[in-house]
A and B are shown apart, each in its own frame.
Chain A
Amino acid sequence: MTVERIAEILKASGAYGWEISDTKLTGREFYFIKHSLDQARAKDVRHITLKVYGLSEDGSSMGSASADVPPSAAEEEVAKTVSDLIYQASLVKNKPYELNPARPVEPMPECAADPDGEARRFIEAMASVRETESEDLNSYEIFANFAERRFMNSRGVDVTERFPSSMVEAVVNARRDGHEIELYRLYELGACDADTLRKDIEETMAFGKDRLIAVPTPPLGSCAAVFSTDAALQIYEYFLGNLNAAYVVRGMSAFEIGKPVAQDIEGDRVSVFARRVLPGSPANFSCDAEGAPVRDLCLMEDSVPRHWCGSRMFTQYLGLDDAFSLTNWEVRGGSRPAAELRKGDFLEVVEFSDFQVDDMTGDIFGEIRLGYLHRQGNVIPVTGGSVSGNMRENLACMSMSSEQRQYANALIPAVTRLEKVTVSGIEE
């Protein structure tokens, strides 16, 4: 069924408000063991989601209900789904708000749909990774997708985005004296950027080599930690979480507009931006998933929150009419180059089992798989033990490099240093 016909059914239904999201996805997938093709897959699928809103008779509450509609659904099935949604929405009592209105939107540059060509470029990129006798690719998976997403709502929004959306999973092995370890990477990408992909995997291989000579992490207690890989994203997502309108409305955000996030800041001040476009990002969209136009916007300036972001519902609750959910984001680089942040005694952790920063509590934790202990001018690869702490204790003293590095839809300082973490080691 066409999206236009679904819209007609919704218009005729008498629903107070409605939204349609219709995404067509063409995918090409290749799975490798070493460099031999294990399996290949293709997909041609379409995801249609309807959301219906209802307003109570006295206007005091508004409810919504949503449903995925199979593309194979007949007209009667869609009509029944809409009818059910209207009833279900009437049972839900939220504070009323307005859906996004139709606004002028600057479209993104057209992207040609070429998942087969994109997949081939990824295969060639992975084949060109420089392996050695002791470091190589164990296996990898390539997902080259092209998506066409159309969003419509009852207030006249009708936006179509066409974009490549790719993913590569790579497992790297390193071995020495009969002992072998692996390192894992998952890259979410737009189009294929062979050089960046190759460079990152080769850096991972170097980490693997060092992990094989790593010694047990000593119990360092309270110390400074440096983050120079994608684990640092978790640190900055703490800021994003606290800048999100849903957290603010629920009383869970530690931040206030216009008020510094910490007192007596001695480290770098943090500035966070929404970015409409980041080169190579899989999230270069003109609008967010609810049809709100995305624009460049400073969310936090020098550690002072300036704007909230988030879903239409919660930003409306805060009285904001031009807010949107983040697609791409940037954290401005700090005042000093990375080399300056790597001075003195510290632990630089480049591989965790699963590094986490809880954006609600600020808790930091992760098991160390590879770190570099810088002590009295010496650098020792270490493994084991864990890093723990809390972001609140680090807000006044964290440092960021002036250089930046991009991970998917995020551009962040290449090196981040937290002064107050605890490192538990495994040395007896």
Chain B
Amino acid sequence: MKAPFSKYLDSLTGGLRTLIDLLSEDHDYVSALATDSKGLVVRISQHSKSVGNRTMTTERGVVLRVRQDGLYFEYATDGFDPERPELTAEALRAAERAQRAAVEATGTAVYETGIIPDEPWELFVERETEYLPEDCEISGLVEKFSEISDRGMAMSEYMLDCNVAAQSTHVCKLFLTKNRYLRQSYVYSEGGVAAIVAKDGQNRFGYKSLSGLCGIELFDGIDEKLRGAVDLALELLDSDRIEPGEYDIITSPEVSGLIAHEAFGHGVEMDMFVKGRALGAEYIGKRVGSELVTMHEGALCAENVTSYAFDDEGFPAGDVTEIDRGILKTGICDALSALRLGTVPTGNGKRENFEHKVYTRMTNTVFDSGSDSLEDMIASVKRGYLLEGMDSGMEDPKHWGIQCIITLGREIIDGKLTGKVVAPVIMTGYVPDLLGSVRMASPDRQIFGSGGCGKGHKEWVKVSDGGPYLLTRARLG
């Protein structure tokens, strides 16, 4: 079925049009983004079970963006009354006056920005789903997840707990200007199993997840993640420490995705170009990776948790080729940064929710596949590691440094896996060196969307990333 667009948002449309007219009397750009996204969360462990409706992206509210005298101002409210739009207009103007007074009192200069293009565009998108989170019957999910958790506990004497969690969100957004009328509705879901084990006073956990642009039908696959999560946790219990050094590495698709995200995701967010915070600006048209490295970014690149039709500034979703056979082609850009840089928006203007500012943000960030088999990759490694699972990552776009915390490494000696596992593994390095060393890529790209991404240490949004197995070289610790 189609994920139905929010009736609540439709009921706001007339009032928002009037509000835009009112604000246009003293502003030269006015837009409204209204959101009504509903969710479902079920979390089951041996000691605590809960259900709720708040996910990372559930929200209901309106954010208005206006421009006056070269300065953009936004007002976010969840109290918009479509019968009394003049009240919101007054509240916005009062807040804007107060903030302009602070600007004047402190002698603050304004970074003037042009007017966002507003060519006419109408769009109505309702994506397919089997279920809506707001209508779903949760009793089956609670029973099913409890049974999976119980079964996980029985898999090993070392199990401390087995957490099964899943969530689904029905996203509805309405974007309006004088010339644009955009509506979209879609459902995405994610879930996973975390097995927690202990032995000789040492705790470890293994986590396996899944995600997709669909409803709770995705959760049928959670059962298949159980064995992998438990086995991973048990492997970690018996893992060794890695001897720090530089090694040949094969990155699993999950780790490849983390590299894509940290290396050339954040590094080419063009709002960072405006601030002079990214080295990528100086490398457009230059080699940053080997011939095997091609990377795409955009909501249209893949169908996963952030595959929307238009972004939070009312621009169409894109598919940007950031790196083409090792050459950095371009970055991704929100609307205001595009005006400042003299380029065009790429559909990457995203907010944490209506209460937050737009930044240039990633959507699906993926390496293209290659043609080498994993077996051939392993056979080509004299001494190195097959890296699997990601815990976290951090970038330094100014320096092109990268830090990835990886769940484990499987030792390879003379072209064979030895069975030895090291954990945890910190991979660090200089991005062009890391990507420049890629010498094999597998044909089986995978995409993962169960995590979130911050800008700095805040502004959390959903992203997905992925890639094939890649053979390269990096420093591990």
Contacts and interface: CB of A to CB of B under 8 A. Distances in A.
A46 B357 contact: no
A169 B454 CA distance: 13
23 contacts: A28-B95, A35-B108, A38-B113, A40-B96, A41-B74, A42-B74, A42-B95, A44-B79, A66-B52, A70-B60, A94-B48, A123-B108, A180-B276, A182-B396, A186-B457, A246-B48, A250-B45, A366-B403, A367-B401, A386-B244, A386-B403, A422-B477, A426-B475
A41 B357 contact: yes
Contact of A171 (B75, B77, B142, B275): B275
B147 to A, nearest CB: 13
A195 to B, nearest CB: 18
A367 B403 contact: yes
B341 interface: no
Nearest to B109: A36
A67 B77 contact: no
Interface string A4-25: 0000000000000000000000
Given A44-B77, A367-B403, A369-B396, A65 B52 contact: yes
Nearest to A36: B111
B274 A123 contact: no
A293 interface: no
Interface residues of A, number: 79
B431 to A, nearest CB: 13
Contacts of B74: 39-42
Contact of B161 (A167, A181, A250): A250
Contact of B77 (A45, A354, A363, A365): A45
Interface of A: 27-31, 33, 35-46, 49, 63-68, 70-72, 88-89, 91-94, 116, 119-120, 123-124, 127, 138-139, 167, 169, 171, 173, 180-182, 184, 186, 219, 246, 249-252, 254, 313-314, 317, 353-354, 356, 360-361, 363, 365-367, 369, 384-386, 388, 392, 422, 424, 426
Chain B interface size range: 35 or more
Interface string B454-468: 001110000000000
Contacts of A31: 357
Contacts of B401: 353, 367, 369
Contacts, number: 225
B160 A43 contact: no
Q: Which 8 A-B pairs have the closest CB atoms?
A: A424-B244, A42-B95, A354-B394, A43-B76, A36-B111, A424-B477, A367-B403, A353-B403
A72 B62 CA distance: 11
Given A33-B274, A182-B398, 16 more contacts: A40-B96, A40-B100, A42-B98, A45-B79, A66-B51, A67-B52, A70-B78, A72-B78, A116-B102, A119-B99, A138-B276, A353-B396, A353-B401, A353-B428, A356-B405, A424-B244
Given A37-B103, A250-B47, A219 B244 contact: yes
Interface string B50-91: 111110001011000000000111111111100000000001
A94 B48 CA distance: 6
A42 B76 contact: yes
B358 to A, nearest CB: 9
Contacts of B5: none
B139 to A, nearest CB: 5
Given A41-B73, A44-B79, A353-B396, A120 B357 contact: no
Contacts of A369: 396, 401
A367 B426 contact: yes
Nearest to B95: A42
A35 B103 CA distance: 11
Interface in B186-218: 196, 198, 201-205
Contact of A388 (B51, B110, B477): B477
A229 to B, nearest CB: 14
